[in-house]
Amino acid sequence: MLRECPDHGYFRGETCPICGEPGRFLMNDQELEQIGRTMAGALRHFPEKFELQMDDQGFVSLKEFIAALKRQRERYHWLRPHHIIAIIETDPKGRYQVSNDLIRATYGHSLPLNLNLPTDNIPDTLYYPTTAEEFDILLETGLKPSDRKQVHLSKTYNDARTAGKVRTEEPIILAINAKKAMEDGIVIGRAGRTVFLTLEIPAQYLHKAEEPEVIEETEEILPENQ
């Protein structure tokens, strides 16, 4: 459920998490999921299917996206810019960005783009999930993109573990010495709230991560390469 509190802005759920008021209804869970999936596809993989003009940083016009969605799915005739902004601002993973009248996905692209992500406030250590079969190979060759255009790194061990469980029941977690990598000129950008992107991580910055004493599940559940 997507709603808007007049005092505290957009939120997901039945009541505002700050004041407890129900606020104004915007869309139900099914609409939220379907529009969200469409956004992911159009902004990460196939803008041409919606006849969208995407710039080299992945931005498209918010109004043009809405118009295209209405053309292809008439049941969303009621959609307005504030509905999309509400989805972006309440996305728990921080997967999207709105800037003036433009929107984009911040990670997960299969398109060649120059996202120009912020490179400040990068943790000294980042994490990456892999399988037992790939573990030794990655320690020798380093991390390179596979089905995505960039390598996706996780903020914490737990984020990486949760992401890795999409591929394997017991992922092995690699730790990345991000501080040293950046000192040596490797660019790492902040994408989502717990996701960081880079073109590659050479093997010398990798080692097997130590499992923390307490493992807590996170909301960051992502497919391969996160």
Low-confidence ranges of the chain (pLDDT < 70): 213-226
pLDDT computed for residue 166 by the predictor? 83
pLDDT computed for residue 67 by the predictor? 96
Question: DSSP 3-state helix, strand, coil percentages of the chain (rounded to 5)?
Answer: 30, 20, 45
Half-sphere exposure of 90 (CA within 13 A, CB side): 24
pLDDT computed for residue 157 by the predictor? 95
How far apart CA 179 and CA 124 sit, in angstroms, is 5
pLDDT computed for residue 226 by the predictor? 42
Q: Nearest-CA neighbor of 202 among 177, 226, 224?
A: 177
pLDDT computed for residue 209 by the predictor? 93
Domains of the chain: 2-105 (1.10.10.970), 125-208 (3.20.170.30)
Its pTM stands at 0.79
pLDDT computed for residue 218 by the predictor? 47
Tokens, residue 52: 């969208």
For 45-77, the DSSP string reads T-GGGGT----TTS-EEHHHHHHHHHHH-GGGT
